[in-house]
Structure 1
């Protein structure tokens, strides 16, 4: 059995998905393609949605994807950090 990241979906909209890393056997960072694959299976084609995640230290970053494939990470701005933290507090 392959070890996978454990995450909670905190927010889904037409333009973005925000997930929270639950500190599983693998981190979202170390299982990025697996996370994208599982999100696609659960939510359908992500299309142009952007995917963001909160790591176990509480910081938000973007998981970059193209055509359903992980291409890298991008840091969130201070404004995004504040907005995502506020939205996710409502969900947790």
Structure 2
């Protein structure tokens, strides 16, 4: 699923879409503890590079809602061994 961000601009809503498959990328989002919204692009069928910087970050007052795929552990590349 693509990531869709809705911005509240007075009486109207505006959307920005990050479409999966555009430029061969899949998009994921992360909502930070301080309310920031970070968008990550990754090559299709691959994982994000460890400590990859987001493609774009929106401040907490900039966005109203987000839909799509959140970033999960399976999206991330990690060199750490699993612990039991």
Q: TM-score, structure 1 length as denominator?
A: 0.33
Structure having the higher Rg: 2
Q: Greater helix share, 1 or 2?
A: 1
Structure having greater relative contact order (Cα 8 Å, sep ≥ 6): 2
Q: TM-score, structure 2 length as denominator?
A: 0.35
Q: Greater strand share, 1 or 2?
A: 2
